[in-house]
Amino acid sequence: RFSASIPKTTPASPALCALQCCFKVTPSPAVRAKEALEKGEVPVGCLLVYNGEVIGRGRNEVNETKNATRHAEMVAIDRVLEWCKRHKRDYREVFPQLVLYVTVEPCIMCAAALRLMSILSCCGSVLSISSDDMVDSGDPFECSSGYRAEEAVELLKAFYRQENPNAPKSKVRKKDRRQ
């Protein structure tokens, strides 16, 4: 699913402003996902928006870095932390104001990290990690999903039609090219 956030503290208009910023002015999460696909990664991309400005961009870098934690959301979080250092801003004040745009719902690792970093709003998840009452896991956040879902699904299909160039030779499966 392609997911977009709507801040819980205001009507939808601020999110729509951020959405216009993401999809008209800067590369969208889908563009980041396409970059990941071109690098042989699972095509996931995301943006973290602060006051209408994209301050964190990420795409999957797992195969490229040989680090299983380098999901798009984690890369974007690192970019926001770098932005905070450059702009002498306290990340604890910035993160609660962020809105996340991501091409697919975050995995449990990324959803937990987003929640612990107090992201204002994010996309939906089957596990409801955004809203479940969990001990010592940060405040719940509001979610919405489905924006540009078809585009995200097509990118994932393209990835899974190809062979994984990073898989060990003994694990490589030949794909049926008739699909």
Catalytic residue numbers? 73
Nearest to 51 by CA among 15, 86, 82: 15
Alpha carbons 124 and 103: distance in angstroms, whole number: 11
Amino acid letter, 78: D
Pinpoint the alpha helices (H) of the chain.
13-20, 29-38, 62-65, 72-86, 91-94, 108-116, 149-161
Phi-psi label, residue 167: left if phi above 0, alpha if psi -120 to 50, beta otherwise: beta
Output b/e per residue, 96-128; b: 16+ Cβ within 10 A: eebbbbbbbbbbeebbbbbbebbbbbbbbbeee
The Cα diameter of the chain in Å comes to 54
